[in-house]
Structure 1
Amino acid sequence: MDVELARTFLEIVKARSFVRAAEQLNVSQTAVSARVRTLEEQLGRPLFVRNKNGASLTAAGEQFLRYAPMFVQLWQRARHQVAVPPGRRAVLAIGGELSLWHPWLIEWLHWMRHSAPDVALRVQVDVPNSLTDQVSTGALDIAVMYAPQYRPGARVELLLEEKLVLVTTKLEPGVVASESYVYVDWGPDFAHHHELSFPEDNNPGLFVGLGPLALTYILEAGGSGYFRQHVVAPYIAAGKLHLVAGAPSFFYPVYAVCSTQADDELVDLALDGLRGIASADQVGRRSATVTPWPL
């Protein structure tokens, strides 16, 4: 359906007149009548009753009124998401899990805006299943996540071999009190390995589904928990956190799921930046392959 048909329908409903609707749309009354006729032919039912007072909706028109605004809004949103803004050569749509955005993907945004200022960015935060679905259908070019699912229409690239380490605010880092332990939900693989390593501690008093939230809580209230190694490294260096001696660490890689429908040049550019920032995080400095950006 032509979106102008739905837009014209809504304008007639608002104006209650074909004539006034034509004036608002800056088209002829003949054009408005033709659009309504086309819409009625597509739906197979009359939508308006014309009378001396203007136009009123039929029962079918009342039913269509429930859907027409959503149709127009969806089109406007899709056009905003897909269209290339003036002065830009392309659009790159990227999504990521919430816990990955700060600070890692925020740094990537700075890098991308500096390295490719002519590329418009569409950025979103979502849960893994939704991100994977959007990549496989081409709605997203790249999704950054921890545990990707392989789907048709997508390829998976390893970005970072991360570790989860056990840290505590206690000055005696060899002892972890169960009452101050915060269990962070790092997904099913972590839960499995955590249960094998700590079979007696599977019912924590505090369960948090977001790493940055749990880390903020521990830094403020004290306690212990598993966190990404490069994220807690500055706090360890500052003496605010301590590694728990003898505690197991868990492998926790980060992946980019890339749409096979995306522009390969744009995807490769984005992956270069992501890998460069990941490498810089691991060595504690900016990689020589990553161009510095102004903050």
Structure 2
Amino acid sequence: MDIPQLEAFLSVCKIRNFTRAAEYLHISQSAVTARIKALELSVGKPLFLRDNRNVSLTQAGIHFLPYAERMLLLFEESKVTLSEGLENYIVMSGPGSVWHYYYLQHIVSFRQAHPKVAIKFLSYIDSSYMIRDLLLDGVVQVAIRYDPLDRPNVTKHFLFEDEIILVSSQNSSNLFTKTDFFSGQYCHIEWGYPFPDWFRSIVGEGYLPTFETDHSTIMLTLLLQGAGFGFLPRSIAKPFLDDHRLYELRCELPFPVTRAYALYLTDNRDHPSVKLAMQLLDVPLASTGDSTH
């Protein structure tokens, strides 16, 4: 198994057509076919089902896909770490809202202080993938997560806590209940643990919002434009609450509080990339505080 075979496999997975995958890779269709056949021989099972019109993954292909993505990502990351002119390279993962609203100034200051350190931030939807694969594989040096991972080889440091509150551009003294969340005015976003369980305790299982986004900036913009009401961390909403562009609403249950943690592999505690990443977050590694192993 080699890198060109993985690239051919992932291209066919994405495009679901051998001819167009070949065009994407700027090689012949026969070369794509040969690479896929060689890969299938290497793993010992067929990865694709083919007919005249469609290409689909076999069960083996479905199971192999995340491993192929990880292997190719590890290869790409290894090339970056060998780049000339850089003193170090750090990769961090976490929700986009964390980088944008909590650590943006930290990032700016860190880059000014460390111009020869390359930084990559990964904003994710599937946090379990980022933790299970990229952190444990060593691709990500430090991951931020709301529900801390309890593994013997992972160290976690408490970063901050924030209350998730219900807000709108229209002030209201009403007590918002389950019925309100089924209305067309509610805009949903799945904030971190324990918000999903807390919200489910109000609306029940099988709930489907009329509008949902996974992007905090989109949610904030919609609420500021009067598109309805929804949940935001208090720290994000505060400047808009202060100037009365947003108003805090009342809910039938006390609002949940999220706690964010920075996680890294315990064995990598003294690695320069981990030290730099924690420095960016302004968390001293020598601190015991709320950190656990």
Scaled to the shorter chain, the TM-score interval is: 0.5 to 0.7
Task: Say whether residues 1:118 and 2:116 are aligned partners.
Answer: yes
Q: Using the alignment, how far apart are the partners of 1:258 and 1:75 within structure 2?
A: 17
Q: Give, as a single letter, the amino acid of the residue that structure 2 aligns with 1:101.
A: W
Residues 234/173 of structure 1: CA separation in 2 closer, same or farther (3 Å cut): farther
**RMSD (Å), alpha carbons:** 3.8
Q: Using the alignment, how far apart are the partners of 1:189 and 1:110 within structure 2?
A: 30
SS of the residue corresponding to residue 149 of structure 2 reads coil
Q: Counterpart of 1:241?
A: 246
Give per-residue Cα distances to partners, 1:90-122, cap 9 Å, x unaligned.
Answer: 221212223323233433321221232332223
Q: Counterpart of 1:77?
A: 76
Instruction: Name the count of aligned residue pairs.
Output: 219
Task: Say whether residues 1:183 and 2:181 are aligned partners.
Answer: no
Give the counterpart of 2:233 among 219, 228, 233: 228
Q: Give aligned-pair identity as a percent.
A: 21
1:208, CA displacement in angstroms?
3.0
Q: State whether residues 128 and 148 of structure 1, in contact with CA within 8 Å, keep that contact through their aligned partners in structure 2.
A: no
Task: Say whether residues 1:63 and 2:63 are aligned partners.
Answer: no
Q: Using the alignment, how far apart are the partners of 1:121 and 1:106 within structure 2?
A: 13
Task: Say whether residues 1:95 and 2:93 are aligned partners.
Answer: yes
Give the counterpart of 1:206 among 211, 215, 226: 211
SS of the residue corresponding to residue 214 of structure 1 reads helix
Give the counterpart of 2:107 among 106, 109, 118: 109
Q: State whether residues 171 and 247 of structure 2, in contact with CA within 8 Å, keep that contact through their aligned partners in structure 1.
A: yes
- TM-score normalized by the length of structure 1: 0.61
Give the counterpart of 1:273 among 273, 280, 289: 280
Q: Using the alignment, how far apart are the partners of 1:201 and 1:243 within structure 2?
A: 27
SS of the residue corresponding to residue 206 of structure 1 reads coil
Residues 158/64 of structure 1: CA separation in 2 closer, same or farther (3 Å cut): same
1:60, CA displacement in angstroms?
11
1:230, CA displacement in angstroms?
0.7
Q: Using the alignment, how far apart are the partners of 2:75 and 2:137 within structure 1?
A: 20
Q: State whether residues 169 and 225 of structure 2, in contact with CA within 8 Å, keep that contact through their aligned partners in structure 1.
A: no
Q: Counterpart of 2:130?
A: 131
Residues 124/208 of structure 1: CA separation in 2 closer, same or farther (3 Å cut): closer
1:275, CA displacement in angstroms?
4.0
Q: Give, as a single letter, the amino acid of the residue that structure 1 aligns with 2:136.
A: S
Task: Say whether residues 1:260 and 2:258 are aligned partners.
Answer: no
**Long gaps (5+) in structure 2:** 5-29, 40-67, 284-293
- TM-score normalized by the length of structure 2: 0.61
